[in-house]
Structure 1
Amino acid sequence: MRRVALLGLIVAALAGCEISETGELRFAPPAGSAGSGGRGALSDPAGDAEPIRAVSLVGGDVVLAAPRGYCVDPVTVETDDDGAFAMLASCRILTGSGPDVAPAVVTVTVGPRDEDATLPPPEALARLAGAPARAAATRGGLVTAQMQAGGSDVLSGGDPRYWRGAFRQGGRLVSLAVYAPDGSDLAASAGRRFLEQVRRAIETASARSGSAANG
């Protein structure tokens, strides 16, 4: 199976977003760099690891689920009790088949358990990203900010604008970033709505997993 053209544009240095032990968000090292564990490169669709719709992270505190048309790339999943990292992309990008949805790459990082951790304000997302931001908002427990530069450094052929978000789930801070091709609606206002969809998918899957465990 062949990936659509976007995946051929993804650079090997695709970076995630980490949360430090103090609860601060920070950029993860580029894939393949020292300390990165080689994470960040999406699966080869000819490989053995098939994309999946959901995966349990950090001992079940968070279940990463993808919105309709998007899949979790299992090759990018790293998880232990202290935190987790994974990437989402459209199922069509990862497998060559699936619903026709807007191409995008989403990084998801889960921080250590901290029941007292507070959500960073939108301004902190911009400051820690080291880029100007606008269209920042906090709604329904999800903090979002649209970065005005840096997206094309992460995604070759990508829009300079990209979105970051953060919310709490299972006593942990979860950070998101969505990167899209140049001119994509997901780099504009639709990016915030998409982050809300990702957050709802994670929240719903995590609640169902908790209910099943308690049942």
Structure 2
Amino acid sequence: MRPGRCLLVLGLLWLAGCAPVPGAAPTGAGGKGLLSGAVDGAAAPKAAKPLLRLTLAGGDVPVVPPEGYCIDPKSRRGGAQRGFAAIASCRILTGGQVGGYVEPVLITVAAGSRGTAEDLPSPELLAKARRAPLLSGSRTPDAVIAHLGQGGAAILPGGDPKHWRTVFVLDDRLVGAALYAPAGNPMAGPEGAELLMRLKARMAAEVAKPATPKAAPGAAPKAAPGAAPGATAPQRRKRGLFAGLTQR
């Protein structure tokens, strides 16, 4: 890791792991947090609909949760250079109205500065930044992941102290993510790393999609194949369980 980038990466780690999550009550507060529905079976419906996609850092970083998970729109923070969002079970975020059962984890995503693989920290630095014991860690050409032995319960009320953290390169941006699970949940173990890597893969696939060409100003809509002259292509209707939840 280049020495000059250390403070920037540490700031990214702080944002991914310490930024307040709307609706999450502090430990001992007696209130219900973002994932309280994991305990009592349902959470109160929220006014803002959960999202299946949003972008951070001025549109550079698309956040696309794994299947069954949604983005809490109230958690979104940041601007053109930075960004933060929280992900949880769609079922919990909608009070049981949308989605099937998935493990009740909380995932935070932070979009940071521009960078390359040379700027990635080591698993040891991830642990040192959180002042937590490093249980395990690994590195790929574009990502670092660490399993930390404490700190999870401070972010997620009733959470397991063990949690996962990763920093990866998405195009030319550094992105940090953390996963917190209820105490004793399998996601606090190896399964949590797999879910974080699925999140990374979905975000990378979104970045890799070819851009849709924009029509020239004043150009008429393209006619559908076989349609009569002057006819325009029919509007595509959104279908499926999550219709209307996405933000484009």
Q: TM-score range by the shorter chain?
A: 0.7 to 0.9
- In structure 1, distance between residues paired with 2:21 and 2:159: 16
SS in 2 for 1:131: coil
Counterpart of 2:113 in structure 1 is 112
SS in 2 for 1:153: helix
- In structure 2, distance between residues paired with 1:189 and 1:129: 19
1:157 deviates by: 1.2
1:134 deviates by: 1.6
Contact 1:26 1:128 in 2 (8 A): yes
Q: Name which one, 1 or 2, has greater alpha-carbon Rg.
A: 2
Query: What is the identity, as a one-letter code, of the residue corresponding to 2:14?
Result: F
1:164 deviates by: 0.4
Contact 2:16 2:109 in 1 (8 A): no
Query: What is the identity, as a one-letter code, of the residue corresponding to 2:71?
Result: V
- Residue 77 in 1 paired to residue 63 in 2? no
Q: 1:59 to 1:28 in 2, by over 3 A?
A: closer
Query: What is the identity, as a one-letter code, of the residue corresponding to 1:176?
Result: A
Structure 1 regions of 5+ residues with no counterpart?
1-18
Contact 2:53 2:71 in 1 (8 A): yes
Q: Deviations over 1:136-185 (max 9, x none)?
A: 01135221111101111221111110000110113111001000011111
1:202 deviates by: 1.0
Q: CA RMSD in A?
A: 2.5
Counterpart of 1:13 in structure 2 is none
Q: 1:67 to 1:79 in 2, by over 3 A?
A: same
Counterpart of 2:218 in structure 1 is none
Counterpart of 1:40 in structure 2 is 21
- In structure 2, distance between residues paired with 1:136 and 1:160: 16
- Residue 87 in 1 paired to residue 68 in 2? no
Query: What is the identity, as a one-letter code, of the residue corresponding to 1:67?
Result: P
1:114 deviates by: 3.5
Q: 1:21 to 1:123 in 2, by over 3 A?
A: closer
Structure 2 regions of 5+ residues with no counterpart?
24-33, 35-42, 215-248
Aligned length: 189
**Greater mean alpha carbon deviation, residues 133-142 or residues 67-76:** 133-142
1:117 deviates by: 5.7
Q: 1:148 to 1:165 in 2, by over 3 A?
A: same
- Residue 23 in 1 paired to residue 22 in 2? no
Contact 1:163 1:191 in 2 (8 A): yes
1:29 deviates by: 10
Structure number having the greater strand percentage: 1
- Scaled by the length of structure 1, the TM-score of the pair is 0.79
1:213 deviates by: 4.7
Contact 2:147 2:163 in 1 (8 A): yes
SS in 2 for 1:149: coil
Query: What is the identity, as a one-letter code, of the residue corresponding to 1:82?
Result: Q
**Greater mean alpha carbon deviation, residues 135-144 or residues 85-94:** 135-144
